[in-house]
Amino acid sequence: MDNQIISSSDLSNLEKRERTTLINGLSGFRSANLIASLSKTGNQNLAIFNSVMHIGADPALMGFIMRPEVVERQTLENIRYHKKFTINQVTQSIHKQAHLTSAKYDNATSEFEACNLTPSLITNFPIPFVAESPIKIALSLKEEVQIKSNNTILIIGQIEFICLENGILEQSGHINFDKIEGTAINGLDTYYVCKKIGSYKYAKPGMHIEEL
Ligand SMILES: Cc1cc2nc3c(=O)[nH]c(=O)nc-3n(C[C@H](O)[C@H](O)[C@H](O)COP(=O)(O)O)c2cc1C
């Protein structure tokens, strides 16, 4: 196999846009989610995030990385104010609208409206969900972790409830991502549909692939 070595000095010498694209996409696929929040004055806000991650199952925690606060970060301000937000899975059918939410709309503009997605309220949770999304998650703010290396912030939320489209939750507890055509993002601009290739028992030392 022929390899291409890119040293840290090669990286520094790359044209800025090329370097950013390469590094942003280097970890492979990241989940595509829309985070909804509400401003102090009650305006609905929606933005795409590719850094949503599972933090732990008990307590049920999820997190995402917020960029440094060098410009106005409406999602961050809103979450700090109401201490609640929603995470909504991006599927193939809404991925283009979802991508449009990354634009810098002013505070008074709802990205739901601007990007043609439907806000929906569930029970008495104050923050809207994306009606078109088959996986809707209501969270309350649990913790902010400052990442000193680059001034980003890990926002951790505790799951209050989950709303799943009927028929996508399997008896095993798995969500059928093939069925919903769940998407993943590489870098900041390229979307993929994910396809299941296997599901295996937890590995033990010495286990062979035939035993999975
Ligand atoms: C594909 C994609 C993924 C993104 N992921 C993140 C992310 O994980 N963290 C972040 O802070 N911004 C991310 N952004 C940028 C936000 O979507 C963008 O800054 C948005 O305008 C934030 O809106 P807000 O000011 O209403 O919070 C991403 C943008 C795109 C296009």
Tens of pLDDT, residues 113-132: 999 999 999 999 999 999 99
- Say if residue 9's pLDDT is above 90: yes
> In this predicted structure, what is the pLDDT of residue 205?
97
Residue 212 covered by a domain: no
CA-wise closest residue to 98 among 77, 114, 75, 109: 114
**Each residue's pLDDT tens digit, 53-64:** 999 999 999 999
Report the C-alpha gap between 85 and 65 in whole angstroms.
Answer: 14
For residue 37, how far is its CA from the centre of ligand 1 (angstroms)? Answer: 13
The residue whose two tokens read 């829309």 is 34
Read off the CATH number of the domain in which 49 is found. Answer: 2.30.110.10
Nearest-atom index, ligand 1, CA of 188:
1
- Say if residue 65's pLDDT is above 90: yes
Ligand 1 neighbour 142 (Cβ under 6 A): no
Residue 7 covered by a domain: no
Report the C-alpha gap between 191 and 94 in whole angstroms.
Answer: 11
Residue 16 covered by a domain: no
**pTM of the entire predicted model:** 0.97
Residue 118 covered by a domain: yes
- Say if residue 8's pLDDT is above 90: yes
Across the range 188-194, mean pLDDT stands at: 95
Ligand 1: residue whose CA is nearest its atom 24: 74
Residue 205 covered by a domain: no
- How sure is the predictor about 111, in pLDDT bands with cuts at 50, 70 and 90? very high
Ligand 1: residue whose CA is nearest its atom 26: 74
Residue 9 covered by a domain: no
- Say if residue 191's pLDDT is above 90: yes
Across the range 206-212, mean pLDDT stands at: 95
How many domains is the chain partitioned into structurally? 1
Identify whether 128 is preceded by a cis peptide bond (ω within 30 of 0). Answer: no
Residue 125 covered by a domain: yes
Q: What percent of the chain has pLDDT over 90?
A: 99
For residue 139, how far is its CA from the centre of ligand 1 (angstroms)? Answer: 18
In Å, how far are 105, 110, 196, 199, 201 from 211, measured between CA atoms? Answer: 52, 51, 19, 12, 9
Residue 3 covered by a domain: no
Across the range 85-109, mean pLDDT stands at: 97
Across the range 82-101, mean pLDDT stands at: 98
For residue 47, how far is its CA from the centre of ligand 1 (angstroms)? Answer: 6
For residue 51, how far is its CA from the centre of ligand 1 (angstroms)? Answer: 9
- Say if residue 1's pLDDT is above 90: no
Range of the domain at 83: 28-196
